[in-house]
Amino acid sequence: MLKSQELWDLVERGYVEPNPVPAQPSDQLWETREKDAKALFLIQSALDNEISPRIATATTSNQAWETLKQEYLGDKKVITVKLQTLRLEFKILAMKDKESMQEYMSRVSGVVNHMKTYGENVNNETVMSKVLRSLTKIFDHVVAAIEESKDLSTYTFDKLMSSLLAHEVWISRSYEKVEEKTFQAKRESFHKGKSEYSGGRGRGNNIMYKYCKKLGHIEVDCWTKQRDDQKQANFTEEVEEGSKLFMTQYSTDDGPDGVWFMDSG
pLDDT in tens, 202-256: 444 555 555 565 665 565 566 666 676 766 666 555 555 555 666 666 666 666 6
Burial class, 136, CB count within 10 angstroms (exposed 0-12 / middle 13-18 / buried 19+): middle
For residues 1-23, average pLDDT: 88
pLDDT-based confidence at 149, cuts 50/70/90? confident
DSSP 138: G
pLDDT in tens, 179-209: 566 666 666 665 555 555 554 444 445 555 5
pLDDT (0 to 100) of residue 201 = 46
Cα R_g (the chain), whole angstroms: 40
Residue 127: name the closest of 105, 103, 148, 99 by CA: 105
Indicate the SS3 state at residue 148.
helix
Residue 198: name the closest of 222, 164, 233 by CA: 222
pLDDT (0 to 100) of residue 108 = 93
pLDDT-based confidence at 172, cuts 50/70/90? confident
| Residues counted in the chain | 265
pLDDT in tens, 16-43: 888 887 888 888 889 999 999 999 999 9
- When comparing pLDDT for 210 and 48, which is higher? 48
Q: Can you tell me the distance from the alpha carbon of 83 to that of 145, in angstroms, rounded to the nearest whole number?
A: 33
- Letter string b/e over residues 218-249, b meaning 16 or more CB atoms within 10 A of that residue's CB: eeeebeeeeeeeeeeeeeeeeeeeeeeeeeee
pLDDT (0 to 100) of residue 200 = 46
Q: What is the DSSP string of 187-219?
A: HHHHHHHHHHH-SSSSGGGGPEETTTTEES--G
pLDDT in tens, 53-104: 889 889 999 999 999 888 877 777 888 888 999 999 999 999 998 889 889 9
For residues 120-127, average pLDDT: 89
**Is residue 42 within 8 Å of residue 10, measured between CB atoms?**
no
What is the pTM for the complete model shown?
0.48
